[in-house]
Amino acid sequence: MDVLVLIGRILFALLFLTSAFGHLTGTKAMAGYAAAKGLPAPAAAVAGSGVLLLAGALSVLLGAWADLGALLLAVFLVPAALTMHRFWQEAEPMTRQQEMTHFQKDIALAGACLMLLAFFSYVGHDLGLTLTGPLFDIG
């Protein structure tokens, strides 16, 4: 089971690592998009969210307080869904559908992060192939 969970952690974290890389290397371009969505201090928001993504993804990937990493990713995903993918404000049907898809993806991933938080916290030090045990104890 340890190897299966490790493979899952790697596959899960890759999505967020590539996103973090995009946030941190393309801050200016992404800040323009964030500004168009009405986000205040868009450059700081993009850089900050990139750091949040990187910290959360590395935590899950390495198994270093992976429960905290899953929580950090959820903390990114829910506000991102609510601020960047406001499908309910879109009049054009195609744009509305695309934003709804992105919104639902972010919310579903946030749900997966919360399940990982519970899983890592519950299993605790028994998980194996991690650098540390969980930070939280919900067992």
Q: Under a CB-based contact definition with an 8 Å cutoff, are residues 76 and 46 in contact?
A: no
* Residue 118 belongs to a domain: yes
96 part of a folded domain = yes
What does the pLDDT read at residue 62? 97
Structural domain range at position 54: 1-123
pLDDT number for residue 138: 84
What does the pLDDT read at residue 139? Answer: 67
**Residue 137 near residue 122 (C-beta atoms within 8 A):** no
Dihedral sign computed on CA atoms, order 48, 100, 78, 130:
negative
For the four alpha carbons of 120, 122, 128 and 134, in that order, the dihedral sign comes to positive
Count of domains in the chain?
A: 1
Task: Note whether residue 97 is domain-resident.
Answer: yes
Percent of the chain topping pLDDT 90 = 94
pLDDT-derived band at 125, boundaries 50, 70, 90: confident
In a domain, 48, yes or no: yes
Q: What pTM was estimated for this model as a whole?
A: 0.95
Containing 55, the helix (H) or strand (E) segment is helix 42-62
Q: Does a structural domain hold residue 137?
A: no
Structure tokens at 58: 């590395």
Residues 6+ apart with CB under 8 A from 21: none
Q: Return mean pLDDT, the chain.
A: 96
Q: 136 in a domain, yes or no?
A: no
Predicted local confidence at residue 1, as pLDDT: 83
Structural domain contains residue 61: yes
Q: Determine the average pLDDT of the residues in 14-36.
A: 97
Cα gap 43→33, rounded to integer Å: 10
Flag whether 9 is in a domain: yes
Q: What pLDDT sits at residue 42?
A: 97
